[in-house]
């Protein structure tokens, strides 16, 4: 069709906590508040998603209102270089399809992205469902169920990414490369499905980076994607800019 927009050539996948933002947002909403012993002990004995549901309910009981939580999420600091990376992606929207997969919650993630002026960059945000009830308590749910033994019961990012790629393929989108920017152990699982043409961008020194290094040492060649560690997300932007310059 004349004038139709070309499909993006690349898929860029982001994590949120300690990737886009420089903190763990679940920790941030609790800052300055001493959790009761039951909740502190429960963090060690319960699935994390269930623990956070209880923490958010307790915060509501302590008088934390929706506006208070929104302010926390909106004021989360961006990780170094993220504004530069967002600027790069904004200039190249026709080439990059961008999605986010996070084990935080969709309310907090979208509040921060909107505050940063970046929500429109993302075609999809995959995160645990969260909404306020009549009391003003933020109710958190699990994202899905799965059979992956590596991931927490509420979310396997590999399953989400695999289903998304299959969905986009059915819609006619074929990405030349997939790029994955993350930091945590739960980002290692989806990064393991990347191909040799793809690139994993683990935050240097964080669990995702260490797990990739261990896999490369224990099973050379088992981790197929190129690995480009970063300390500033501006390094990711420079890598992608050089890729475009070489017209791969």
> What residues act catalytically?
15, 17
HEC-encoded secondary structure of the chain? CCCCCCCCCEEEEECCECCCECCCHHHHHHCCCCCCHHHHHHHHHCCHHHHHHHHHHHHHHCCCCHHHHHHHHHCCCECCCHHHHHHHHHHCCCCEEEEEEECCCHHHHHHHHHHCCCHHHEEEEEECCEEECCCCCEEECCCCCCCCCCCCCCCCHHHHHHHHHHHHHHCCCCCCEEEEEECCHHHHHHHCCCCCCCEEEEECCCHHHHHHHHHHHHCCCCCCCEECCECCHHHHHHHHHHHHHCCC
Tell whether residue 17 is among the known ligand binding residues: yes
Tell whether residue 103 is among the known ligand binding residues: yes
Tell whether residue 27 is among the known ligand binding residues: no
Tell whether residue 15 is among the known ligand binding residues: yes
Binding-site members for substrate are: 26, 103
Binding-site members for Mg(2+) are: 15, 17, 183
């Amino acid at each position: 069709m004349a004038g139709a927009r070309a499909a993006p050539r690349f898929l860029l996948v982001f994590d949120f906590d300690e990737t886009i933002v420089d903190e763990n947002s679940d920790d941030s909403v609790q800052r300055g508040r001493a959790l009761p012993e039951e909740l502190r002990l429960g963090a060690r004995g319960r699935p994390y998603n269930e623990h956070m549901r209880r923490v958010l309910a307790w915060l509501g009981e302590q008088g934390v209102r929706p506006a208070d939580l929104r302010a926390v999420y909106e004021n989360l600091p961006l990780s170094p270089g993220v504004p530069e990376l967002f600027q790069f992606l904004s200039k190249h929207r026709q080439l990059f399809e961008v999605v986010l997969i996070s084990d935080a919650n969709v309310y907090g993630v979208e509040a921060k992205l909107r505050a940063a002026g970046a929500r429109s960059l993302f075609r999809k945000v995959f995160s645990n469902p969260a909404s306020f009830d009549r009391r003003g308590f933020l109710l958190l749910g699990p994202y899905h169920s799965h059979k992956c033994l590596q991931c927490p019961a509420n979310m396997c990012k590999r399953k989400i990414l695999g289903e998304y790629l299959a969905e986009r393929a059915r819609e006619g989108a074929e990405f030349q490369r997939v790029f994955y920017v993350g930091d945590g152990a739960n980002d290692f699982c989806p990064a393991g499905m990347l191909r040799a043409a793809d690139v994993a961008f683990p935050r240097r020194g964080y669990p995702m980076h260490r797990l990739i290094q261990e896999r490369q040492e224990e099973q050379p060649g088992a981790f197929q994607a190129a690995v480009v560690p970063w300390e500033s997300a501006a390094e990711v932007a420079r890598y992608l800019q050089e890729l475009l310059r070489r017209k791969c």
